[in-house]
Amino acid sequence: MTIETSNRGRGCEIRWLGRIPYREAWELQEDLAAKRLRGEIADTLLLLEHPPTLTLGRGADSKHILADSRRLQELGVEVVETNRGGDVTYHGPGQLVGYPILNLNEPPHQPDLHRYLRGLEEALIAALRYWAIDASRFPGYTGVWTAMDTAAPAKIAAIGIRTSRWITQHGFAINVCTDLSHFNLIVPCGISDYGVTSIQRIIGQDLGVRDAVPIVAASFLKTFDLDTAISDNDYPGEPVDTRCFESNRN
């Protein structure tokens, strides 16, 4: 195994997987997390999108799924119970999902879940500035919020994580050009008082998930003080080139 980075020891392999089923991505995370724990791979960020899927975290209330099984079947929506934290959320086409596989016990990280969660939020908030979207944290709630196109704050990115022996799994989902009507199938993250929005809705321009990949990847690297790793491991997907956005790192 070889890993090349501009700052050896702080490398992160970033891969775009395209659209893959939720369970397949979950199995991949489990495999990579085991390898990361053994030191066989560098920190890794998987970027992808899912077919329509509802996922329930460990603390989810099944009553927060508002559609019955027949309606979900008609729409081709799969329901998956997961081991991440949080309530019920929606994944689907037009949403960029990120699964970081990091060892929080190794520098530049710290074994601090609160710090890690705030880092994920900051990475997404910074990425949204590329589209001149003013986003922020919302007191009392996890995730990233904006009120640019709504009277009250609306969630533009959700976060739900799991760690085992300080290796992270699951992660974030940012609405790029998502069909927001699918969120009507659930009470998103168990929050009924506030809605959801997307980048495309706010900027009023056509946008694809792939367009957001290098921007979010570069922001993630900057926030977590990482550099792109290049390895000879048999990683799935294709490497993400963030060089066009590296000028903002310093």
Active site residues: 189
User: What is d(CA 142, CA 146) in angstroms, rounded to the nearest whole number?
Assistant: 13
CB < 8 Å & 24+ apart, contacts of 206-210: 206/177, 207/176, 207/177, 208/176, 208/177, 209/49, 209/93, 209/94, 209/95, 209/96, 209/176, 209/177, 210/16
* Bridge-based pairing state of the strands 3-4 and 78-81: unpaired
Identify which of 196, 11, 219 has the alpha carbon closest to the alpha carbon of residue 88. Answer: 196
DSSP three-state, residue 8: coil
Alpha helices, H only, the chain: 22-37, 69-75, 113-128, 199-203, 209-223
Tell me the backbone φ, ψ of residue 18, rounded to 5 degrees.
75, -150
Q: Which residue has the tokens 């998987």?
A: 46
- Of how many residues is the chain composed? 250
